[in-house]
């Protein structure tokens, strides 16, 4: 075990997979010489060479297209998008090609590509560097989508994604890069795609979410238990597609009160589908309406630091909503 930041866990996962399998390679803007805009690929080109860590032009559709073609040809590409906002020029490649190739080829072709992209605000990046785009891809059958909260899961899920025979979108919250730090095994391990993780047991309320907001939920839960005696049951989805329906239902049934949290917009977000699952399968086991705390439905993240702080979720916002649910 080694104490490791979230960003280091991602880098280590790529390094280990490239050492394990010569067909794994990395491509993207500034991933080579610069080591990535956030340094996620720092040192990889020095170790593996320019043929396996490729600097590309600023053309996301081309990055995705090259990666998809290489995957269909038998390689294991890890394509980095500097920000998830920049995935939008590549949506046709991802949704119309990668997600559908196995289906339209009658299972003759597969596309084992991983597309990594940082999501979320917190760096004063404004409208072009702060979006959460997971809901854009969430409703596309054929794609697997993961969004780890912990450093342990970041490493294990990325390794699982590289080994998966189908396309995986790997969303990493840029605020987690340096904020989240924990012991991570230096040995080879994977975290199964499609399995949620119970972060905390409790009896009064259930919180379901993914990525950065869970950090605030855990902090709020500790304070609520200490100050009010309220215990929170917290479930980390980890995988957004496919959702772990059984884990969701079990978490809801534990308390009968559920709060769904994510930074993405409330309307049409992943939380809406989670709420639908609960309403369809656990309705009569609820003791309160389904609560959702999400990013506001505005066109973009404000670039002003005070406005960004107002926009984003926080420990205090989570704590207030968790208390409101407990008192319902």
Residues annotated as catalytic are 129
- Nearest CA to 134 out of 156, 114, 155, 117 is that of 117
User: Residue 138 — φ and ψ, nearest 5°?
Assistant: -60, -35
On the 0-12 / 13-18 / 19+ scale of CB atoms within 10 A, 255 is: buried
Distance between CA atoms of residues 102 and 146, nearest Å: 20
Cα 291 to Cα 34, 177, 260, 272, 320, distances in angstroms: 43, 28, 6, 10, 12
CA 103 to chain centre: 25
Q: How many CA atoms lie within 13 A of 175 on its CB side?
A: 23
DSSP 99-156: TTHHHHTTTS-----EEEEEE--SS--GGGS----HHHHHT-TT-EEE---SHHHHHH
* Sheet of 291-295, strands arranged across: 197-200, 232-236, 205-209, 258-265, 291-295
* Chain centroid to CA 306: 25
- Work out the number of other CB atoms within 10 angstroms of the CB of residue 310: 11
Q: 245-255 and 270-281 are packed helices; what angle lies between their axes, rounded to 10 degrees?
A: 70
Q: Which of 7, 71, 72 is nearest to 40 (CA)?
A: 7
5 beta partners: 181
Report the C-alpha gap between 164 and 219 in whole angstroms.
33
């Amino acid at each position: 075990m080694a104490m490791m930041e979230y960003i280091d866990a991602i880098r280590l996962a790529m390094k280990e997979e490239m050492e394990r399998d010569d067909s794994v390679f990395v491509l993207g803007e500034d991933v080579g010489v610069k080591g990535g805009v956030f340094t996620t690929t720092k040192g990889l080109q020095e170790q593996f060479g320019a043929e396996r860590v490729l600097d590309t032009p600023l053309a996301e559709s081309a990055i995705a297209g090259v990666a998809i073609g290489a995957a269909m040809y038998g390689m294991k590409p890890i394509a980095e998008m500097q920000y998830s906002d920049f995935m939008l020029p590549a949506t046709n490649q991802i949704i119309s090609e990668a997600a559908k190739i196995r289906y339209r080829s009658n299972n003759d072709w597969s596309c084992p590509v991983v597309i990594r992209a940082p999501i979320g605000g917190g760096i004063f990046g404004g409208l072009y560097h702060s979006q959460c785009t997971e809901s854009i891809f969430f409703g596309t059958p054929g794609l697997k989508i993961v969004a780890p909260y912990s450093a342990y899961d970041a490493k294990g899920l990325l390794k699982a994604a590289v080994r998966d025979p189908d396309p995986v979108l790997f969303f990493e919250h840029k605020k987690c890069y340096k904020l989240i730090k924990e012991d991570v095994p230096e040995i080879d391990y994977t975290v199964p795609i499609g399995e949620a993780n119970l972060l905390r047991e409790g009896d009064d309320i259930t919180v379901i979410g993914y990525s950065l907001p869970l950090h605030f939920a855990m902090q709020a839960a500790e304070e609520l238990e200490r100050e009010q005696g309220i215990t929170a049951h917290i479930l980390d989805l980890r995988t957004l597609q496919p959702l772990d329906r059984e884990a969701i239902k079990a978490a809801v049934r534990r308390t009968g009160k559920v709060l769904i949290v994510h930074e993405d917009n409330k309307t049409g977000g992943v939380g809406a589908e989670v709420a639908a699952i609960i309403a369809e399968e656990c309705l009569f086991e609820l003791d309160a309406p389904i609560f959702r705390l999400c990013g506001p439905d505005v066109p973009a993240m404000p670039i002003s630091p005070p406005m960004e702080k107002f926009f984003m979720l926080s420990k205090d916002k989570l704590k207030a909503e968790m208390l409101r649910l407990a008192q319902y």
